[in-house]
Amino acid sequence: MSFQLNVPPSVISRIAKKAEESGTGEEDGTSQESAKTREDWRKLKELEEARKAGTAPAMKDEEGRPTQKLDSVLVHPSLASSGSVTLSFVLLEDPMLSMSAIEKSMSSWEDINPHIPQYIMQAPWYFGATTPTLRHQRPQEEKQKLFADDWFKRGVKEGSVVTKFRKGACENCGAMTHKKKDCLERPRKIGARFTGKDFAPDEYIQPDLEFSYDGKRDRWNGYNPAEHKKIIEEYQKIDEAKRLLKAQRIEELIQKGEIGPEEAKKAVEDEDEDDEDKYAEDVDMPGQKFESKQRITVRNLRIREDTAKYLYNLDVSSAYYDPKTRSMRENPLRNTFKDPQELPYAGDNFVRWSGDAMEMAKQQLFAWEAYEKGAEVNLQADPTKLDLLTKEYQTKKEEYKVSTKESILEKYGGQEHLDAPPKQLLLAQTEEYVEYSRCGTVLKGQEKVAMRSVYEEDAYPQNHTSVWGSYWKDGQWGYGCCHSFIQESYCTGAAGKTAEQTTMPAIEGSPVVAVKRQPSIDNSLQPFTPSATITQPNEEHISPHSSPLASSESSSSDEEEKQKKRRKKEKKRAKKKMRKQKEKEKKKKLKKHKRRHSSADDDESSESEDEDAKRERRIIEAIRKEEARMREVDLMMQVDERKRPYNITYDYKAPDEEEIEAYQRKRMRDEDPMAHFMK
């Protein structure tokens, strides 16, 4: 990195002219800058490497001289860029300047870092740098904003009052800082331009202080410490005047003989001590004694053991925590379904609506309603008045309700209905949770209700002493008093039980014969029921040692079976007869129909032909309409869908038989291999 002159040609010619005038240029041969040879460039390169390595002294910033300025020393560019020395000086204005002074001034210059790139160290041509410098990289002093002593002046009018109207001044007041349309004075009947009197002074133009971001928000902006000194001096003068007045008052008391010199001295000392105590009270904290031997501890407002509100629930979908205001409106534990009063923290909204918050909201609502009706009340301005007015309103409201109720009862009566027991006792209502179905059955919430029987309960018909269903055997229900399996039977008591026991088989392993008792009524009068039969698979397996009662019952059962078979045969015969009779009637009807139609065959055939022809004509017309519709559909499908007209061809009536037949005839069945022959 080496310095290269980067100035316009006019500056170079001016430097050369000064060198010729001084005579130094011809002697040194520097009147014209000679072209650098290859050797010069090599030496410059070696010098740069030596400066970077630290073996050669660094280049000096000659324009950044902090201690001594040598305006008479000017560095020639040709010598400044030579490789033999770091800097050569040519004494232009003061040739007698000693080299020791020059060396001393050089030692005070700032070093230029050799590692700085050339494009940063080199000054632009319009800067006019003739010596190595970095001043073009530093902030410009003339552009630095210093507003520590500057501020807006309020109410200042500078300049002397003129006596003659000036051209371009305000025609109303005569000031030069504004025009007539911007004048803030009262419009005069005759302006200062024509009267030549009462010219207003020019306003003070406030400076344009372009503050930075921090400067605009500086709370001490425009503060003058001298003003605070004036305040201190004012208070000191007041204290001095108080002392003089007190001393004067004490002298008057001494002259009157009310107090002595010692008491006066003591009063002055007490006053000084009181002043010291007063200032000490301002410094001390309330409830604390600041002594050197006593340790002072101030408890922090936050207890570190408390759980932060955002740590109660770590779920990201829970209540939102605003870190800027440190607030959490919602309840973070709302998913636990617990009472908010039992939780350690239930959100800021819960705190807002606890205590007297609701009562205060009611008072605010009452204040608005009262204000609309003409009452001058306000919750913020006079809360005590509003509170008293609210209480008075509530008491009067309750009294009015009671008086209205009493007057209605006196007029219409009905006090006895109000004295009735509560509905919970009348309707046996409880707080137990019970769910019912649509049909009224209990689903849950109560003990399961016992199932009720489909039969009539606690009913004892036909002299029975037990209900139907109190006895069960072999898959049959009966009465427990007589072991009868017939529901409408008469009770036989113990005899029925013994008879039922005697019907049991006497030999083990023999087939079971289940006999059902019949009532004592004649079988001819009783209708035949399946339950009255005796189940006996084979008569040969009946034990020969059975009782005569069993044999008589078995014989009666045989007769019943014979009757049953006889009835079935009779029913079959009757059905066959009915079938044969119906067939004969059908044959007769067919013969009659043939005879009847043989005579009028021509008339009926002509009528049927007319009906068929009409129907065929209607079908042909429907086919023609269907073909026309299909042609319209084909034409519409060939048109682009974006260019198709908008039309509605919906038909809400059901198709008739002819239209259905036409559709069936014209329909093409793709699954039929012979369908293409229909075209």
pLDDT at 236: 92
Do 30 and 113 fall into the same domain?
Answer: yes
Do 188 and 132 fall into the same domain?
Answer: no
Helix (H, G, I), strand (E, B) or coil at 394: helix
Select the more confidently predicted residue: 411 or 446. Answer: 411
Do 173 and 91 fall into the same domain?
Answer: no
- Is residue 612 over pLDDT 50? yes
In a domain, 326, yes or no: no
Do 219 and 178 fall into the same domain?
Answer: yes
Kindly provide the residue ranges of all beta strands, DSSP E only, lying in 368-479, ordered along the sequence.
Answer: 435-436, 442-444, 468-473, 476-479
In a domain, 480, yes or no: yes
- Is residue 580 over pLDDT 90? no
In a domain, 409, yes or no: no
Name the token pair of 165.
């109207």
pLDDT at 108: 55
Select the more confidently predicted residue: 297 or 540. Answer: 297
Domain count, the chain: 4
- Is residue 525 over pLDDT 70? no
pLDDT at 648: 58
In a domain, 579, yes or no: no
- Is residue 282 over pLDDT 60? no
Do 125 and 181 fall into the same domain?
Answer: no
What percentage of the chain carries pLDDT values higher than 70?
A: 69
Cβ neighbours, 10 Å, residue 250: 18
Cα–Cα distance, 366 to 615 (Å, whole number): 86
In a domain, 262, yes or no: yes
Cα–Cα distance, 488 to 463 (Å, whole number): 11
Do 109 and 28 fall into the same domain?
Answer: yes
Query: DSSP for 82-122?
Result: -SSSS--EEESS-TT--HHHHHHHHHHSEEEPTTS-HHHHS
> In residues, how long is the chain?
679
pLDDT (tens digit, 9 = 90+) per residue, 643-666? 777 665 555 677 888 888 888 888
- Is residue 433 over pLDDT 70? yes
Cα–Cα distance, 142 to 60 (Å, whole number): 24
pLDDT, averaged across the chain: 75
In a domain, 283, yes or no: no
In a domain, 298, yes or no: no
Do 260 and 203 fall into the same domain?
Answer: no
pLDDT at 74: 40
pLDDT at 549: 42
pLDDT at 204: 84
What pLDDT band is residue 515 in, cutting at 50, 70 and 90? very low
In a domain, 423, yes or no: no
pLDDT (tens digit, 9 = 90+) per residue, 165-184? 999 999 999 999 899 999 99
What pLDDT band is residue 77 in, cutting at 50, 70 and 90? very low
Last residue of a domain, one of 480, 508, 536: 508
pLDDT at 187: 95
The three state secondary structure string of 195-232 is HCCCCCCCCCCCCCCCCCHHHHCCCCCCCCHHHHHHHH
Last residue of a domain, one of 140, 166, 191: 140
- Is residue 29 over pLDDT 50? no
- Is residue 342 over pLDDT 90? no
Q: Report how far Cα 579 is from the mean position of its chain's Cα atoms.
A: 85
Do 19 and 125 fall into the same domain?
Answer: yes
pLDDT at 205: 82
Cα–Cα distance, 458 to 465 (Å, whole number): 10
Do 132 and 217 fall into the same domain?
Answer: no
Give counts: helices (H), strands (E), the chain: 19, 8
pLDDT at 178: 92
Lowest mean pLDDT among 218-232, 555-569, 575-589: 555-569
498-508 average pLDDT score: 62
Do 34 and 135 fall into the same domain?
Answer: yes
pLDDT at 106: 53
384-395 average pLDDT score: 94
Which range marks the domain in which residue 176 is found? 158-223
- Is residue 387 over pLDDT 90? yes
- Is residue 198 over pLDDT 80? yes
pLDDT at 530: 39
Do 212 and 271 fall into the same domain?
Answer: no
pLDDT at 85: 36
Do 119 and 240 fall into the same domain?
Answer: no
Cβ neighbours, 10 Å, residue 489: 21
pTM of the model: 0.27
Last residue of a domain, one of 223, 242, 265: 223
